[in-house]
Amino acid sequence: MSAPADGTAGTEPAPPRRRDAARSRELLIRAALELFAERGYDRTTTREIGERAGVDPALIARYFGGKTQLYLATVRLELGDEAPADLLEEERLRTLLVRLTQRGPGPSFQAAVTPGDNTEVQQASRTYLYERMVHPLHERFAAEEVDRPQLRAELATAAFAGVILARSSGAFTELAAADLEELLPLLRKLLAASRPG
């Protein structure tokens, strides 16, 4: 019996490699973490994430729903499941300020100022904003028995989001150029003004 003309010596083609979904998800999250840290949310594309992960970028939509949901997944991974301290805690405020200065504001902050469309992405971003920022402040204010704790928690979170967005836009030159150590006590004082006393 003679060998086939293509020189394969009669061997069968290798079966297609089975995609390892868990491994692909892990690679995408790791690549996204790196790129979001390096470039921020807006300047990172799904194509770049896929290239760095070594997987098809179309898998981002399949496994996460899109770039925003992937971003939120990376933030949850970084912060863990533990309930966060509220924005009036100095270390929490410092950590957020450093991270957001390095990466720029992500979708949850943009959701705070975007007119309400009820897309799944917008809802996920707003839910995250409430879970991680508004609720911890509300709990503090309720425990302190201040008047209108939900309103005050939303007001403080909106002020924080506004400062972060304005700082990243560059529209306010002094604010954009301010050193974090100079900005931190001023921002804390601004947020603390949302509660009486």
Domain of 77: which CATH number?
1.10.10.60
What does the chain come to in residues? 197
Domain boundary among the residues 81, 98, 125 is at 81
Is 140 found in the same domain as 69? no
The pLDDT of residue 148 is 94
Is 71 found in the same domain as 27? yes
The pLDDT of residue 16 is 44
Q: Are 117 and 62 in contact (CB under 8 A)?
A: no
Structural domain contains residue 11: no
Is 116 found in the same domain as 174? yes
Tens digit of pLDDT at every position of the chain (197 positions): 445 555 555 555 544 455 688 899 999 999 998 888 777 777 889 999 999 999 999 999 999 989 888 987 887 776 666 667 899 999 989 988 888 887 777 777 776 666 656 566 677 777 878 888 899 999 999 999 999 999 999 999 999 988 988 888 888 999 999 999 999 999 999 998 887 76
Domain boundary among the residues 65, 81, 97 is at 81
Q: Which two tokens stand for residue 84?
A: 């966060």
Closest CA to 94 of 177, 181, 36, 160: 181
The pLDDT of residue 136 is 94
**CA angle at residue 123 from 40 to 116, to 5 degrees?**
95
Total count of domains within the chain: 2
Residue type, 191: L
Q: CB-hemisphere CA count at 13 Å for 21?
A: 4
Domain that holds residue 122: 83-197
The pLDDT of residue 189 is 92
**From CA 1, how far away is CA 14, in angstroms rounded?**
22
Is 162 found in the same domain as 68? no
The pLDDT of residue 78 is 65
Is 74 found in the same domain as 121? no
The pLDDT of residue 38 is 79
Structural domain contains residue 4: no
Domain boundary among the residues 81, 98, 131 is at 81
The pLDDT of residue 100 is 82
Is 74 found in the same domain as 49? yes
The pLDDT of residue 51 is 95
Closest CA to 106 of 176, 41, 189: 41
The pLDDT of residue 109 is 73
Residue 120 is classified by DSSP as H
Is 132 found in the same domain as 87? yes
